[in-house]
Structure 1
Amino acid sequence: MEHFAYFRTPDGTPYAQRNGRPIARPLKSQGVAGSHRQELMLDMFHEGLGLFSGTAMKEALELIEALTISGTLRPVHIRVAPCGTTPGVTWLDLGRDDGRSVRIAPGGWEVRVPSADEVVWRRTQLTGELPEPATGHGLAGIDRLWSLCNFSDPESSALAIAWLLGCLDPGVPVPAPFLTGPQGAGKSTTARMLTRVIEGMSADLRRPPKDEDGLITAVAAGWITPLDNLSHLSADMSDLMCCIVTGAETIKRALFTDGDVHRSRYRKPLLITGIDVGVIRPDLGERLLHLKLERPGQRRSEADLWAEFAEVLPVILGGLLDLAVTVRAQDTEVPADLRMADFARLCAQFDQVHHLGALTAYRASLDDLTDDVIEGDVVAQTVLRYAATAGGGPVRQSATVWLDNLTRLYAGSAEDTPYRPLPKGWPTTGKVLSDRLKRLQPTLAARGVAVEWGRHPGQQDPGRSRYIEITATAHT
């Protein structure tokens, strides 16, 4: 206890922190990132005390763990964290053994070792080392990054900068960049570069996990989670990605217990690449950032490309930190019409500094994704088709009647219209249609069709009192 501080995190996990170092280690973990048990063994061995028996070490650690029950509560962070003593200040972990980190404040940034009150870092196998940022280069560092990327338009470049700025601020939920383009456009290479600006040269892309547990494990062990070559998004995986972007928690039974639980909270930056991921659900579409790439005119070898990137990474990181300080100092209003309002405000702050049209590009990105959602959903297409041909004013009908009318409109019941079989996934009951429309409500509203739910006053039959109102509010 003369050499270490012992504490628990808010979720109850005990940690040990060596005095004067901002890095905490779990007491008993046998992971490759190291545990306090291993620290004690090495210290005692180097001090000539030899090796203690497993039983003695186990009992000592159990006593230490018991002492933390009524001790200090302190959060631990991976890579990016808010300052525990000064509001508005954030920290970036460089992943170094000496604990040197970047303090990003409104007046500037500096590299130093934080105190235990300012931030405590947790390290995993995914925590790579970042070079010490270079100073005095400004936006030249960002320009060096774009010279290595293949973005097809300035709007995508501006949104990529805004996303990197959001990754440096743990208080801002950032949408997940969705890198698209033809084969050979360098989607995977660009995704690696964006990730390595924050996570270091050891970071790499990952194959999409097959289940929820696999994705949560990957998210919990790092800061940015880059998923490469997505070809399909199930409904469960889509919902989980929404939770990762905006924040959620999972609760599982703790190992070797009957009633205790393990609690995990997460809200982390997510990045995905793919040529075609299939149908994008509306709620995920509002949490994506569409970045477009094109095939490069001249190819380079992997060795030359990454050698140059590693050489200029200190300049890139320094330029990004300079930009972060300047952007955070801007005073702008929060755009009230966008779901990811914090990121939209960040784009507006960025525009005040460099006038690259990031907020306009963000709106255009959401508009593109809205088209993708509509193109993949036949119910949305049919509702828009109905709204385009219907007269003015709202129309109120029960869900069952709406299902019948939309089915006739899609299948073609007129004598001069050939019959079309209903596609897989078409709603089979009024309740299913109502639930589908609730998911599509923001998407349809973006195309000038308002969908609302209500009850007819004075109706005694509960089965006929509920209605769905569809109104064409603009040209569709």
Structure 2
Amino acid sequence: MTIEASTLVSFAKKTAVEFWHDTRSRPWATITNHGHLENWPIDGNVFQRRLGALFYEKKRSAPSAKAIQDAISVLAGEAVFGGAEYAVFTRVAGQDGYIYLDLANADWQAVEIGPSGWRVISKPPVKFRRSPGMLPLPHPVTGGSINGLRPMLNLNDDQAWVLVRSWLVAAVRDTGPYPVLVLHGEQGSAKSTTARVLRSLVDPNTASLRSQPKDTRDLMIAAANGWILNFDNLSYLPQWLSDAMCRLATGGGFATRQLYTDDDEVLFDAQRPIVLNGIEELATRGDLLDRSIVMYLPAISHNQRCSEASYWSRFQASRPRILGCLLDAASCALANVTGVQLPALPRMADFAEWACAAAPKLGFTQQQFIDAYAGNKDEGLSITLEASPIFEPLQSLIRVKGGTIEATTTELLNDLDRYIPIGARRPQGWPGNGRTLSSTLRRLAPGLRAIGIAVSFRRESSGKRLVSIKQVVQTSVGCVGSVAASPEDVDAGPGPAMQSVTADEVKAPTVSVTASLGDATDAADAKSAVHATLPWDEFLEVDEDERWEEDDLDESHID
């Protein structure tokens, strides 16, 4: 090692507080700068510039590039092999029952949130990192009201306002799961503005809105460099991205090959709050919808509009007090969450418990949250069914078969194929084989149960797998679109030519597996029983074989 490199190493050791490595063995240095502590990766540009500045300060000359690289190599080795290991956090962290929110200001201050309150501290006990684009949060102020945010959001009703507040306080928490917030609305309904405002309250960034990532690596980079992921103006979610959103919302690992290598793999495990917005329906797959809060923003009339400058000026002035209210709510949740008792645990149970625990500081009751969340989930079931191309043909087939179907998924798919007009191609999303149909039915099962159609799977002793579908309750499905005409109804009126098939030509089922509706004695009572249990027991407590699993993920995008 040259004299220059040795001098650089010496200077670095005198000014650094600690050399250490993260859980992925990346070397870091904690340094002092104008009286506060900062954390920087040793192999990053900021630390390199720091070394050059130290050398120039002492020697009044610039070190060579080789000397800097040699010094970095030595310091990185000490950090990885001789330093302690710490987790590194972006914006939000948790330790020993406390939550830490990085203010990302010039003094590297953070907010420490505990069950008895919160305070701004200068030396947080966790290791925060500064990613490109991070913007500072304002110094929080007490004494405000969360209702100061309401006039700045274009929401449809009070239930949406309850859910927005719940989502925001969840975004301050260091652990998920986090429901994906999906914002829909026509052009000019302030979807992008709403998304920017919500992110700015917790995780402001110069790139507050992002376009759709092109692959898993892009999504990993976004999650590594930001706390809230905000994807703007989307028109469609491919299957791989929908599955990846599920993993990010509830926690799961990502793996992809490192750039410019054949064997080195990059592993990333994270949970992140996510906001999606677009005109078209985005979260149409049942697994993502089950993890989402979907909102439809109303159109803004001309007399409601204001200038951008005026709007953002009012928002910036209110941010410190709104942030203080969110911190109060998070503290309240920490104090109360272990005592929350829900009627039944929903799919996103931790989120629901957290929202109910924070409710006293957010201006709503536990029951108001339960009603709003359950109502939103009920809407999501309708969206899932509406978005599936097999839903209406399946309803017609059930009617043709007298309310009960039992077959292999391949046989069932052949029957459903008869509903495709002659000469037409299969619609987008139509299952291509029995295995895909099985996966589709599992995703639709919660929504089908909600309208009285029970779906179950079983294996015969011979190993043959059968799906049983039964109309348990006769219900109206006007909320999810019209029912497709059954094949025998084709001649009843004009329309595209269909392959002719009658009820007698379709093999009748011999065995049925039904879902019990308890003591309901007639169709009206049965319908009541279904809807009474729907929000918390029926579709939120999904059977184990109907849960979204890693095996369902499309990994073909990982090269």
Check whether TM > 0.5: yes
Match of 2:407 in 1: 397
Alignment of 1:324-335 (within 5 A): 324-330=330-336, 331-333=339-341
Q: Cα deviation per residue 1:339-398 (whole Å; 9 max; x = unaligned)?
A: 211112223324466435122211111221221121111223333444567657x65322
Q: Cα deviation per residue 1:282-311 (whole Å; 9 max; x = unaligned)?
A: 111112111232233421100111111111
Match of 1:51 in 2: 62
Aligned-partner SS, 2:80: coil
How many Å separate the matches in 2 of 1:22 and 1:444?
56
Q: Judge conservation of contact 1:388–1:475 (CA < 8 Å) in 2.
A: no
How many Å separate the matches in 1 of 2:264 and 2:417?
50
1:314 maps onto 2:320 in alignment: yes
Q: Cα deviation per residue 1:94-126 (whole Å; 9 max; x = unaligned)?
A: 0112111100100000001134xx211110112
1:103 maps onto 2:112 in alignment: yes
How many Å separate the matches in 2 of 1:166 and 1:248?
18
How many Å separate the matches in 2 of 1:222 and 1:472?
47
Amino acid in structure 1 at the alignment position of 2:331: V
Change (3 A) 1:21 1:453: farther
Q: Judge conservation of contact 1:279–1:377 (CA < 8 Å) in 2.
A: no
How many Å separate the matches in 2 of 1:352 and 1:183?
35
Change (3 A) 1:9 1:402: same
Match of 1:155 in 2: 159
Q: Judge conservation of contact 2:413–2:437 (CA < 8 Å) in 1.
A: yes
How many Å separate the matches in 1 of 2:262 and 2:237?
34
Match of 1:415 in 2: none
Q: Select the structure of larger CA radius of gyration.
A: 2
1:12 maps onto 2:25 in alignment: yes
Report the alpha carbon displacement of residue 327 of structure 1 after superposing the two structures with TM: 3.0
Match of 2:391 among 360, 367, 380: 380
Alignment of 1:216-295 (within 5 A): 216-255=220-259, 257=261, 259-277=263-281, 280-295=284-299
How many Å separate the matches in 2 of 1:447 and 1:113?
55
Q: Cα deviation per residue 1:32-82 (whole Å; 9 max; x = unaligned)?
A: xxx222222223323445322222221111111111233211011110010
Alignment of 1:24-39 (within 5 A): 24-30=39-45, 35-39=46-50
Instruction: Select between 100-109 and 119-128 the one with higher mean Cα deviation.
Output: 119-128
Aligned-partner SS, 1:283: helix
Match of 1:123 in 2: 130
RMSD: 2.6
Report the alpha carbon displacement of residue 244 of structure 1 after superposing the two structures with TM: 1.8
Aligned-partner SS, 1:236: helix
How many Å separate the matches in 2 of 1:275 and 1:364?
21
Match of 2:121 in 1: 112
Alignment of 1:343-422 (within 5 A): 343-351=351-359, 354-356=363-365, 357-387=368-398, 395-408=405-418, 410-411=419-420
Q: Judge conservation of contact 1:453–1:467 (CA < 8 Å) in 2.
A: yes
Match of 2:520 in 1: none
Q: Judge conservation of contact 2:255–2:266 (CA < 8 Å) in 1.
A: yes
Amino acid in structure 2 at the alignment position of 1:232: Y
Q: Judge conservation of contact 1:335–1:345 (CA < 8 Å) in 2.
A: no
How many Å separate the matches in 1 of 2:391 and 2:138?
49
Q: Judge conservation of contact 1:403–1:429 (CA < 8 Å) in 2.
A: yes
Amino acid in structure 1 at the alignment position of 2:112: R
Amino acid in structure 1 at the alignment position of 2:84: T
Q: Judge conservation of contact 1:279–1:376 (CA < 8 Å) in 2.
A: no
Q: Judge conservation of contact 1:95–1:127 (CA < 8 Å) in 2.
A: yes
How many Å separate the matches in 1 of 2:364 and 2:283?
34
How many Å separate the matches in 2 of 1:254 and 1:272?
28
Q: Judge conservation of contact 1:93–1:121 (CA < 8 Å) in 2.
A: yes
Aligned-partner SS, 2:353: helix
Q: Cα deviation per residue 1:213-235 (whole Å; 9 max; x = unaligned)?
A: 32322222111111111111111
Report the alpha carbon displacement of residue 329 of structure 1 after superposing the two structures with TM: 2.2
How many Å separate the matches in 1 of 2:205 and 2:413?
54
Q: Could you tell me the percent identity over the aligned residues?
A: 32
Change (3 A) 1:203 1:165: farther
Change (3 A) 1:150 1:46: same
Report the alpha carbon displacement of residue 270 of structure 1 after superposing the two structures with TM: 0.8
Structure 1 unaligned residues grouped into runs of 5+: 413-417
1:168 maps onto 2:175 in alignment: no
Structure 2 unaligned residues grouped into runs of 5+: 1-12, 476-559
Amino acid in structure 1 at the alignment position of 2:416: L
TM-score by length of 2: 0.75
Change (3 A) 1:190 1:429: closer
Amino acid in structure 1 at the alignment position of 2:101: L
Instruction: Select between 3-12 and 424-433 the one with higher mean Cα deviation.
Output: 424-433
Report the alpha carbon displacement of residue 421 of structure 1 after superposing the two structures with TM: 7.5
How many Å separate the matches in 2 of 1:199 and 1:79?
7
TM-score by length of 1: 0.87
Instruction: Select between 3-12 and 399-408 the one with higher mean Cα deviation.
Output: 399-408
1:302 maps onto 2:308 in alignment: yes
How many Å separate the matches in 2 of 1:265 and 1:428?
32
Aligned-partner SS, 2:310: helix
Q: Judge conservation of contact 1:22–1:119 (CA < 8 Å) in 2.
A: no
Alignment of 1:85-104 (within 5 A): 86=96, 88-104=97-113
Match of 2:139 in 1: 132
Q: Cα deviation per residue 1:253-277 (whole Å; 9 max; x = unaligned)?
A: 3455554333222221110111114
Report the alpha carbon displacement of residue 428 of structure 1 after superposing the two structures with TM: 4.3
Q: Judge conservation of contact 1:159–1:291 (CA < 8 Å) in 2.
A: no
Amino acid in structure 1 at the alignment position of 2:471: A
Q: Judge conservation of contact 1:335–1:344 (CA < 8 Å) in 2.
A: no
Q: Cα deviation per residue 1:139-167 (whole Å; 9 max; x = unaligned)?
A: x2x21211111111011111111111011
1:451 maps onto 2:451 in alignment: no
More helix by share: 2
Amino acid in structure 2 at the alignment position of 1:80: V
Change (3 A) 1:363 1:22: farther
How many aligned residue pairs are there?
A: 452
Report the alpha carbon displacement of residue 13 of structure 1 after superposing the two structures with TM: 0.9
